[in-house]
Structure formats: structure tokens, C-alpha cells
Amino acid sequence: MNDCRYSIVIPTLNERDNMEPLLSRLESCGLKNYEIIVVDEHSPDGTLEAVQAYAEGKPYIRGMLNDGPRGLSPSIVKGFSAAKGEILCCMDGDLQHDVKDLTGLLRTAEEYDMVVGSRYVAGGGFAERWNPVRILISRTAAGMAWLLLGVTVRDPMSGFFAIRRTAFEAVRDKLSPRGFKIMLELLFLLTCEQAGRITEYGITFGRRIHGESKLSIRVMGQYLQMLFELRRRRRRQP
Ligand SMILES: Nc1nc2c(ncn2[C@@H]2O[C@H](COP(=O)(O)OP(=O)(O)O)[C@@H](O)[C@H]2O)c(=O)[nH]1
Ligand SMILES: [Mg+2]
């Protein structure tokens, strides 16, 4: 694939059994001019090896190791920095983000600086009844991002988004190296500093079948800490 327009970056930690179904769905979803970059966090279950085996003879699929600072955000930044496309997309490696939503999200990204996949706008939702506690947590997190940072998108925690390369490059050096919710940070930087054109696109969130969620109480604590750090940054701006 010589003319690469879309780069799909997938961060992974112990997602071996999800790789073959995800990669094959991506290959057959009708997308053209794309590449797939899986950035793995030293997964002990052999995720990277599974990707590399799948990618044999397919130059448009790459698996790489996050050999820099550990974490979700650094992995995504590494993938975006290695990407060749003009539109950079991040999606989870656990099949909770539905490949069926990808082409619509990327089509929308042609018109904006950033498109956030959202469960809480028209066309979005959950594939099956979702744990009400997790919905409450994600809606509270979104409300706090709005109150504290002025980020108005309804689902800044979805983790499924696309950003124009030029918009990413404009803010890359300001990203915190140890963050885990890069989407929120990008939204904050684009909203507060760049007057970026941002929109949401309805996505359907699926249930995890293989592997485990890494979201925990500790992660929620980090999220709050990050909201307050970004808020302090906003105050310091003239
Ligand atoms: N590279 C990398 N990927 C991670 C890390 N933590 C989680 N992931 C991946 O990020 C995606 C979202 O994580 P997940 O645990 O499903 O979060 P949840 O959907 O909010 O429960 C999945 O593909 C994970 O494998 C990490 O520290 N580094
Ligand atoms: Mg998940």
C-alpha cells in the first residue's frame, strides 16, 4: 500500500487472542490506503509475536514494542510518530471498538481536526446491557472534564478517535509523557490552544470477550489527577 492515508494505531497489553479477529476484520472492512500499527507493552502473553506472525508478507501491518516510558499514552504517541498516514486513528485492541464504526469515523475525520468516537451521541451506544456502574463512572468523568477543562465532547473516555496528522504534530510536544488518557489531553490542547475543529461520531461499544480490562480504581485516581493538572495548566495560560 504505497499511498497511505489512514494509520490505525492499536495499543495492546495482553490481547493475544483478540489480534487475529481484529486484524482480519480490519483487513476486510473496505478501507483503502491504510496501515495498521500495533504498539505492544511487553505483553507476557505473546501479543506482539501473534501480530508479527499475522503480519508476515503484509507490509501494511506492523507490530512494535513500546520500548520507551511505559503506559498507554506513550504507546499511542510512539505509534502516531511512526505512522505514515495523514489521518491518525487510535482504537482498542480488545474488539470493544467495533470495526464497523471505523470507516464512518475516518470519513468524518476528513472534515475535522479531530473526531471522537462517542457512545453518547446519535448513532452511538452499547452492543448489550452495560454495567450501570461503569456507565456512571464514564459519564461522571465526562462531566468533570467539561466542568474543569471546558471540554464539551460527551465521551472523552471512549479511547476511539481520529486526529489529523497536522493537528497532532501541533500539540505533540505538550503532551504529558506519563498520561494514559491521551484523547482527553489532545482534546484539551486542541480546544484551549489551537481552536481545533472537533466533532463526535456515534460508535457502538462491545463487550470484552478475551482478556481483561486494565481500568481500575487506580486508573480513575490517575484520571482525576490529570484533570487537575490540565486545569492548572489552563490557569497559567495568559
Ligand atoms: N501499549 C499499552 N496498551 C495498553 C495499556 N493498558 C491498556 N492497554 C490497551 O489499551 C486498550 C484499552 O484498554 P482496556 O483495558 O480495554 O480499557 P477499558 O476498555 O477502559 O477497560 C486495550 O487494547 C489494552 O490492551 C498499556 O499500558 N500499554
Ligand atoms: Mg476495553
pLDDT attached to residue 212: 77
- Predicted confidence band of residue 2 (pLDDT cuts 50, 70, 90): low
Mutation probe of ligand 1 site: the residue of 214, 215, 220 with most atoms within 8 A of C-beta: 214
- Predicted confidence band of residue 68 (pLDDT cuts 50, 70, 90): very high
pLDDT, greater one: 213 or 72: 72
Pocket of ligand 1 contains residue 94 by CB under 6 Å: yes
Give the rounded percent of residues in the chain with a pLDDT score beyond 70.
95
DSSP string for 145-167: HHHHH----S-TTS--EEEEHHH
pLDDT in tens, 22-66: 999 999 999 999 999 999 999 999 999 999 999 999 999 999 999
- Predicted confidence band of residue 161 (pLDDT cuts 50, 70, 90): very high
What atom in ligand 1 is closest to the CA of residue 13?
25
Look-up of cell digits 464514564: 138
CB 176 within 8 A of CB 152: no
Residue 201: in which H helix or E strand, if any? strand 198-202
Helix, strand, coil % (nearest 5) of the chain? Answer: 45, 20, 40
pLDDT attached to residue 181: 79
Q: Exposed, middle or buried: residue 19 (CB in 10 Å: 0-12, 13-18, 19+)?
A: buried
pLDDT, mean over the chain: 91
* Predicted TM-score (pTM) of this structure: 0.94
Give the rounded percent of residues in the chain with a pLDDT score beyond 90.
68
Half-sphere exposure for 27 (CA within 13 Å, toward CB): 13
Which domains, from first to last, does the chain contain? 6-236 (3.90.550.10)
Ligand nearest to the CA of 159: 1
Nearest C-alpha to atom 23 of ligand 1 is from which residue?
93
Look-up of cell digits 496528522: 165
pLDDT attached to residue 211: 81
